Amino acid sequence: MSYGTIGKPDHVRRAAIMGDYGRARREFSWTHARLELSGLPGGTGLNIAHEAVDRHAAHPARRGRTAVRFLDRDGTVHELTYGELARRSNRFANALGTLGVRPGERVFTLLGARPELYVVAFGTLKARAVLAPLFSAFGPEPVRCRLELGEAAVLVTTPALYRRTVAPIRDALPRLRHVLVVGPPGEDGCSLDALLDAAGPEYRIGPTDPQDPALLHFTSGTTGTPKGAVHVHEAVVAHHATARAALDLRPDDVYWCTADPGWVTGTSYGIVAPLVVGATLVADAREFDVRRWYRVLDEQRVTVWYTAPTALRMFMAAGPEEARRHDLSALRLIASVGEPLNGEVVVWADAVLGRPVHDTWWQTETGAIMIANFAGSDIRPGSMGRPVPGIGAGLLEQGPDGRAVVAPDGRVKVLHGEAEGELALRAGWPSMFRGYLDAPERYAECFADGWYLTGDIARRDRDGWYWFVGRADDVIKSAGHLIGPFEVESTLMRHPAVAEAGVIGVPDPAAGEIVKAFVTLRAGAEPSVELRRELLAFVRRELGAVAPKSVEFAPALPHTRSGKVMRRLLRARELGLPEGDLSTLENAAALTAGSP
Ligand code: 6R9
């Protein structure tokens, strides 16, 4: 269904940072975008922490402004000014030196939203160590796996997360040298507070090459272990430029990004971008709740809100009355990312919240927003928008596996005009990932003929707007969280009753997709309601929030002749869709549901 176009009145267009899309695209250059940042004093390079914190702290008029406004569980508000954040992150940088952490080593966080997060993040970047944030709702297994793959030198966490998630795996991580726990000295790990108190508040950032690694984000593919996408300090140029162009973000904004800091959105746009711009960011310690979120928007006078389709759909489900109880007049822009945003939500928000939703598209690998509906441009509800200035997007002809066809000479076929194909981006923007940790061949496979291949399928209309069609692989997006089926299957197969598992995403009206597992049992194990309950509890304990919501017993799973579980077929059968090309199927009779 089409929702037409939501036009922007002239005064909105004129007031936006980027009022004229065509002109901005023509005139944009990354060299110029870089010049809007300061660079390290004395021309010694480019460091994210300097751009986000120190350069504002050095400015008498900006030093006292609130950088972080943190809303605690008990209702207390903690504020950190740019000046305080500069000094505290200096202390953490000094503390890392005392601990013997060297540039390039990795500092992981498992923190959720807390004031210490910003101190640790920028202190790490100042010390030129690499920041690797983890999702706090992960169970012990995904955390162990990522700490090991990332060769973590330091982990910073909370007492509760230490007990729940870290303690069970601590002995399995001999290379993890330091576990720092926020708060005063306790039984577990080393006290972060004590360490900060003992460290000096002055720090000079060492020379930082813009190509030095800065951030490490794990993302999931269809097969194999999670992939560690490496980003460099130069990414800050894209964080800054896109925060302005796509989010219309300015120094006087009160900005709220609702993504968990453990996902790329929660770092690029939850920590870095708003502070580079010099805005005040709001962070909330509590879980999602429609009523409270309305209160935060209202009471904090949020002007720019970056959230996810799942949250917006829950706002919509809660009805318009709740919206009427709140004053959202401060809100200038609502933007969304992470999963398909249905046009209905955009139109609903326009009518009920008084502002439409601006969809944006990007990935862990792209590091920053690539495609967007802009503040100063019309919106096509249901469309992801148009490429941001400085980004060349294209569609490539697909082969039978859904991915772009790469000819033997390495060339791809670029589609023109109205088309559908694999979405690709011209390689070379500043926040493009520079590698997958220890997996150069996996990295190389992402590129062809000067293009980065996204693995998403998209359609372009005749005016150049992009529409999301689907993913070319089996990766699941649930409530905006990217979940690799392989990681879930491997965990299920560690249960003694499970012989094999196949994991898919099934549509869900709120979360977009939810994770569903099919399992075959080992000889001696029988399907039962108790066993299903036990399996659900097992995966929940091991994986945390990314665990499947349902488990179904199957007598057999469909395989390709090369032995891989055909998730595509599991999904087609589950949803009653056409089964497609079955030429690679090895055991066509497989899978008749056998659940009690
Ligand atoms: C930032 C982030 C990336 C994948 C991406 C795509 C999906 C993101 C979307 C969207 C439809 C949008 N995705 N934005 N799908 N419309 N506006 O989410 O990164 O976790 O790496 O996920 O998310 O499939 O390829 P990441």
Q: Are strands 451-460 and 466-471 parallel, antiparallel or unpaired?
A: antiparallel
Domain span at 565: 474-575
* DSSP letters spanning 280-347: EEEEE-SPP-HHHHHHHHHHTT-SEEEE-HHHHHHHHHT-HHHHHTS--TT--EEEE-SS---HHHHH
Q: How far is the CA of 50 from the centre of ligand 1 (A)?
A: 29
Is the residue at 131 inside a domain? yes
Q: Can you give the CATH number for the domain in which 479 is found?
A: 3.30.300.30
- Which residue is closest in CA terms to ligand 1's atom 18? 338
Is the residue at 590 inside a domain? no
Q: Which residues of the chain have pLDDT under 50?
A: 588-596
- Which residue is closest in CA terms to ligand 1's atom 11? 340
Residues 491 and 445 in one domain: no
- Which residue is closest in CA terms to ligand 1's atom 8? 338
**Residue 373 in contact with residue 285, Cβ under 8 Å?**
no
Could you report the per-residue pLDDT of 148-165, keeping only the tens digit for each? 999 999 999 999 999 999
Best residue among 230, 363, 366 to mutate for probing ligand 1's pocket (most ligand atoms within 8 Å of CB) is 363
Residues 348 and 438 in one domain: no
The minimum-distance atom of ligand 1 relative to the CA of 364 is 21
Residues 535 and 512 in one domain: yes
- Which residue is closest in CA terms to ligand 1's atom 5? 363
Residue 585's pLDDT is what?
Answer: 66
Best residue among 216, 477, 481 to mutate for probing ligand 1's pocket (most ligand atoms within 8 Å of CB) is 477
Of 385, 420, 449, which one is at a domain's C-terminal end?
A: 385
Is the residue at 57 inside a domain? yes
Nearest to 403 by CA among 442, 446, 349: 446
Best residue among 456, 465, 478, 481 to mutate for probing ligand 1's pocket (most ligand atoms within 8 Å of CB) is 456
Three-state DSSP class for 467? strand
Q: Can you give the CATH number for the domain in which 369 is found?
A: 3.40.50.12780
* DSSP letters spanning 485-533: HHHHHHHHTTSTTEEEEEEEEEEETTTEEEEEEEEEE-TT----HHHHH
- Which residue is closest in CA terms to ligand 1's atom 19? 363
Could you report the per-residue pLDDT of 523-550, keeping only the tens digit for each? 999 999 999 999 999 999 999 999 999 9
The minimum-distance atom of ligand 1 relative to the CA of 341 is 16
Residues 70 and 176 in one domain: yes
- Which residue is closest in CA terms to ligand 1's atom 3? 363
Q: How far is the CA of 98 from the centre of ligand 1 (A)?
A: 39
Q: How far is the CA of 482 from the centre of ligand 1 (A)?
A: 8
- Which residue is closest in CA terms to ligand 1's atom 15? 339
- Which residue is closest in CA terms to ligand 1's atom 26? 363
Tokens of 121: 């993040």
Q: How far is the CA of 265 from the centre of ligand 1 (A)?
A: 10
Q: How far is the CA of 364 from the centre of ligand 1 (A)?
A: 8
The minimum-distance atom of ligand 1 relative to the CA of 481 is 20
Q: Are strands 106-110 and 130-133 parallel, antiparallel or unpaired?
A: parallel
Best residue among 222, 263, 307, 339 to mutate for probing ligand 1's pocket (most ligand atoms within 8 Å of CB) is 339
Is the residue at 585 inside a domain? no
Three-state DSSP class for 92? helix
Q: How far is the CA of 244 from the centre of ligand 1 (A)?
A: 20
Nearest to 220 by CA among 475, 403, 439: 475
Q: Are strands 512-521 and 498-508 parallel, antiparallel or unpaired?
A: antiparallel
Residues 188 and 123 in one domain: yes
Is the residue at 184 inside a domain? yes
Is the residue at 263 inside a domain? yes
Residues 402 and 513 in one domain: no
Q: How far is the CA of 576 from the centre of ligand 1 (A)?
A: 25
Residues 371 and 408 in one domain: no
Q: How far is the CA of 332 from the centre of ligand 1 (A)?
A: 24
- Which residue is closest in CA terms to ligand 1's atom 17? 361
Q: How is residue 205 annotated by DSSP?
A: P
- Which residue is closest in CA terms to ligand 1's atom 4? 363
Residue 197's pLDDT is what?
Answer: 97
Residues 424 and 530 in one domain: no
Q: Can you give the CATH number for the domain in which 408 is found?
A: 2.30.38.10
- Which residue is closest in CA terms to ligand 1's atom 20? 482
Is the residue at 376 inside a domain? yes
What residues contact residue 316 under an 8 Å CB cut-off, 6+ apart? 344, 345, 348, 349, 352
Q: What's the rounded Cα separation, in Å, for the pair 502 and 485?
A: 8
Ligand 1 pocket by Cβ (under 6 Å): 219, 263-265, 337-341, 359-364, 384, 454, 456, 468, 471, 477, 482
Domain count, the chain: 3
Of 366, 385, 404, which one is at a domain's C-terminal end?
A: 385
- Which residue is closest in CA terms to ligand 1's atom 16? 340
The minimum-distance atom of ligand 1 relative to the CA of 455 is 25
Please classify residue 506 by burial: count the beta carbons closer than 10 Å to its beta carbon, then call 0-12 exposed, 13-18 middle and 19+ buried.
Answer: middle
Q: How far is the CA of 370 from the centre of ligand 1 (A)?
A: 11
Residues 469 and 479 in one domain: no
Best residue among 217, 337, 475 to mutate for probing ligand 1's pocket (most ligand atoms within 8 Å of CB) is 337
Residues 372 and 416 in one domain: no
Q: How far is the CA of 456 from the centre of ligand 1 (A)?
A: 9
Tokens of 557: 């799973």
What's the CA dihedral at 470, 475, 476, 481 to 10 degrees?
Answer: -110
What residues contact residue 245 under an 8 Å CB cut-off, 6+ apart? 17, 18, 24, 372, 374, 388, 389
Query: Phi, psi at residue 13, to the nearest 5°?
Result: -55, -50
Q: How far is the CA of 86 from the centre of ligand 1 (A)?
A: 32
The minimum-distance atom of ligand 1 relative to the CA of 217 is 21
Residue 563's pLDDT is what?
Answer: 73
The minimum-distance atom of ligand 1 relative to the CA of 268 is 1
Could you report the per-residue pLDDT of 172-218, keeping only the tens digit for each? 999 999 999 999 888 778 999 999 999 999 999 999 999 999 999 99
Of 385, 414, 432, which one is at a domain's C-terminal end?
A: 385
**Bridge partners (DSSP) listed for residue 423:** 395
Q: How far is the CA of 135 from the centre of ligand 1 (A)?
A: 17
Residue 580's pLDDT is what?
Answer: 73
Residues 334 and 415 in one domain: no
pTM assigned to the model? 0.93
Using N-to-C axis directions, what is the helix angle for 309-317 and 290-299, rounded to 10°?
100
Q: How far is the CA of 506 from the centre of ligand 1 (A)?
A: 17
Q: How far is the CA of 269 from the centre of ligand 1 (A)?
A: 14
Please, what is the Cα angle at 526 between 520 and 531, to 5 degrees? 85
What's the CA dihedral at 570, 581, 559, 551 to 10 degrees?
Answer: 0
Is the residue at 2 inside a domain? no
- Which residue is closest in CA terms to ligand 1's atom 23? 338
Residue with tokens 């029988």: 526
What residues contact residue 281 under an 8 Å CB cut-off, 6+ apart? 67, 68, 69, 255, 256, 257, 270, 271, 274, 275
Residues 461 and 499 in one domain: no
